[in-house]
Structure 1
Amino acid sequence: MEDIQMDTSSPTESSSEVNFNADEEKTQESRAAAGVCYCGKERNLNIVELLCATCARWVHESCVSYQLGKGKLLPFITNYVFVCKSCSASGLESFRKSQATISQMCHCAIANMQQTAAREGRRQIQFSKDKEIIPYIEQYWEAMTTMPRRLTQSWYSTVQRSLVKDVQTLFTYEEHSEHGSMYGLFHQDLRIIKPNYEGMSKSGALRLTDDGYTQAALSKNNRQKRKFPGTDSGPTGKKGRPSSDVAANVKLPPHGYPLEHPFNKDGYRYILAEPDPHAPFRQEFDESSDWAGKPIPGWLYRTLVPHSVLLALHDRAPQLKISEDRLAVTGERGYCMVRATHSVNRGCWYFEITIEEMPEGAATRLGWGREYGNLQAPLGYDKFGYSWRSRKGTKFTESHGKHYSEAYVEGDTLGFLIELPEETALDYLPNTFKDRPLVKFKSHLYYEDKDKITETLKNLHILQGSRIEFFKNGQSQGVAFEDIYAGSYFPAISIHKSATVSVNFGPAFKYPEVLGDRKAKGMHDRVEELITEQCLADTLYLTEHDGRLRLDNMGI
């Protein structure tokens, strides 16, 4: 039989990893007034909850922005580090599960069996080592730890040693004539089970800052080589194999959008989704174990609205290179395009672009475009865009160019203003996509929506009084387009060859006087508007379909 050695007495194990220290509890409570999930609902011991290392907020797994995977985690695990999106510098949650000790796995198993018994109306607080604890660990091994599953049963003796060693600190013990050795939890309150971030900090796994706990930086000897966006293949284990921790392989993006994502393409568009805490039967769905492998109802999720205006990673030609802060873009070869994350459909709006580099032979066409504009073509190629070209200052729409101004060159800062009068009879609320199917890509969920180009072209109509005006270094170049097609317009950039431009959506514009002169708003003001509109649209959908949105209708 294989001789397996397992360390059951590491510095951060047992009474340090599963922490019940009263002083530390008070310290956690005295930090930020936390404890409640983003959704505003109280804790739910029947589902996985994660404790933020910085603000001590408990977050339901179903409220995390990306998919950790059903069955990949269990309630009451303590071998992880989690930072909520409110505390994370990236704007998205950070999660890393580590290898659990056998003592932690035993503690997790007993806690889950005790909660299951309570949910079923039974009071059971002690469990058989041989008939219940070990079989439970066997069943949920991968959900408890990143340690590879043992092929022999030699680890059974390690369970025995771990349970006995921590009696009166973590576990209680009783010998039963029929069931043999019975173990329970020394502290019966399951709500106090949590990772010991203070102990991890003392061991060097975490670093305490003025803002709370953050993951410690790599030491000088362990510092990895610098990696560029798109080159990181994720954490690896022995011999370069992918880490067994599935959640650790999730790309944690800057500004809350995945670095790996499905690109919009001909015929289909992909909209990043997040759990909707206000959807009916949300809690029942989270607690259900019957939906694994089945389609997730789209109405349980909602469109994720970015909290700042940036260049879209998904709504661009793949060959374009977006900077890490998503406020600059470099072209490659022929004309191709990127749009911003936010669009406008009424009112007067403004943003700026600075030409950072314009090598010989390169060119740009910049301006405003709609969602169905061809990303592998210059802006203004079709009826969905209006652009201003660097060469000769030509303006373009529907591939027709007309002289507009002098050329603009490297170093110039350009202003882009659009005015869209409001149509009283038009519904401006965005689509909820709650009736669309959800598809999974790289641990994130997206709504898949079919393009409606033919229908949109057929319904195009002129918006009387609308106009687009361009500015060069604060000076108006005159009205470029009047009475344009009605619709939602995105700031859009198309680049030929290797030009580089940076974009400024506000509020610190280089030429802010344009806003006052034209009574316009900066694109940054669109963020709160869109969040409000999206929330209203989602609420209306749930209200209109009240009584018809049921889990049993989905075969779950």
Structure 2
Amino acid sequence: MEESTPSLTKGRPNKRKLPGGDQGPTGKKGRPSSDITANVKLPAHGYPLEHPFNKDGYRYILAEPDPHAPFRQEFDESADWAGKPIPGWLYRSLTPNSVLLALHDRAPQLKVAEDRLAVTGEKGYCMIRASHFVTRGNWYFEVTIEEMPEGAATRIGWGQEYANLQAPLGYDKFGYSWRSRKGTKFHESCGKTCSPDGYSEGDTLGFLICLPETGPNRDYMPNTFKDRPLVKFKSHLYYEDKDKITEALKNLKTVPGSKILFFKNGKSQGVAFENINGGAYYPAISIYKNATVSVNFGPSFKYPEIEQRFKCKGMCDRVEELICEQSLADMVYFSDNDGKLRLDTFNL
């Protein structure tokens, strides 16, 4: 099925057209329907095949009704909300139940396999991130180079949410990568030799990130997005969040004790990066031309001894952790904003 992207422009008006041409979900008597996505079935891997891409300075987070939201019944029964947007706090970000390559968080020209565990490039360098991120602890995933035609190349590693999708990983301050050609490692477009012979078709690569469990001025709780506007696209609701790249760059600080290691066919290539920038990191892949790679987020790795040696977790173990963290973040939001939500609900 062909995917679509929302039309986003600068100078956004107060009453702008939402992605996909929808003006917001409504129920009977023009009232917002709080269960617009409740009966819309998602594909097997939990993400709509038609979706808005993260691009043009905006990010889109798939939402679902939050059954634990306070005053939900009052909202559903109130006529005061007729024709008004649904409050974001009545929903919650949908946390994926398995770690896969993200359909929406990628350059649109990349082709993702149906099982979302392989990706093929096209023309110039562009990138895709995984569906889950990590903020602390030791985490590992593997990538196998399935096809590497002459002239193609890859840069693979770890990237933050603001790493440029239309550039190779390691192009900016938000990513750290290992290139197939000459085995060069990249961060902020600065390349240094990591492994003398690089890697090629048939190789299985390992990527380990080590982030301290604790540290000063570090916030590990994920964003709830409940204060963001909801937009409708193809029968699904998404939180719309504006990129804050300038602010993020100013707040970047290195984390003492953090490091990234690369492995080739089970053999360590040494510590590639130390004291990396703090933040949330996603497994990330960038491809030049039509190379194809497959990913393994666990639990069955080709080289399981790496987990034992470095006492790390496979990315698959991040699923339950993130669900718990997201639930906690939502509860904190409700606790901090109880009075405001009560006023909004009863229109006082």
TM-score (norm 2): 0.86
Quote how far apart the aligned CAs of 1:288 are.
4.2
* Correspondence for 2:200 among 409, 432, 446: 409
> In structure 2, what residue type is equivalent to 1:503?
V
Report the Cα distance in structure 2 between the residues aligned to 1:286 and 1:274, rounded to whole angstroms: 16
CA contact (8 A) 1:285 1:551 kept: no
CA contact (8 A) 2:75 2:345 kept: no
CA contact (8 A) 1:353 1:413 kept: yes
Report the Cα distance in structure 2 between the residues aligned to 1:278 and 1:375, rounded to whole angstroms: 35
Aligned to 2:52: 262
Higher Rg: 1
* Correspondence for 1:329 among 84, 109, 119: 119
> In structure 1, what residue type is equivalent to 2:242?
K
Report the Cα distance in structure 2 between the residues aligned to 1:554 and 1:366, rounded to whole angstroms: 51
CA contact (8 A) 2:80 2:347 kept: no
Change (3 A) 1:542 1:258: same
CA contact (8 A) 1:264 1:270 kept: yes
Change (3 A) 1:536 1:466: same
SS of 2:341 mapped into structure 1: coil
> In structure 2, what residue type is equivalent to 1:438?
L
CA contact (8 A) 1:297 1:554 kept: no
Quote how far apart the aligned CAs of 1:550 are.
3.0
Q: Which has the higher strand share?
A: 2
Are 1:281 and 2:71 matched, yes or no?
yes
Quote how far apart the aligned CAs of 1:296 are.
0.6
Aligned-residue Cα RMSD (Å) equals 2.0
Aligned to 1:395: 185
Report the Cα distance in structure 1 between the residues aligned to 2:230 and 2:25, rounded to whole angstroms: 16
The alignment-based identity, stated in percent, is: 77
SS of 1:549 mapped into structure 2: helix
SS of 1:538 mapped into structure 2: helix
CA contact (8 A) 1:254 1:325 kept: no
* Structure 2 unmatched runs, 5+: 1-23, 30-36
Change (3 A) 1:458 1:314: same
* Structure 1 unmatched runs, 5+: 1-66, 73-91, 96-249
> In structure 2, what residue type is equivalent to 1:332?
E
Change (3 A) 1:252 1:434: closer
Q: What is the number of residues matched between the two proteins?
A: 316
Aligned to 2:175: 385
Aligned to 2:148: 358
Aligned to 2:320: 528
Report the Cα distance in structure 2 between the residues aligned to 1:289 and 1:353, rounded to whole angstroms: 53
Quote how far apart the aligned CAs of 1:555 are.
5.2
Report the Cα distance in structure 1 between the residues aligned to 2:48 and 2:83, rounded to whole angstroms: 23
Quote how far apart the aligned CAs of 1:448 are.
1.0
Q: Which structure ranks higher in relative contact order (CA pairs < 8 Å, sequence separation ≥ 6)?
A: 2
Matches for 1:14-413 after TM superposition, within 5 Å:
70-71=27-28, 252-288=42-78, 291-405=81-195, 406-413=197-204
SS of 1:265 mapped into structure 2: coil
CA contact (8 A) 1:268 1:450 kept: yes
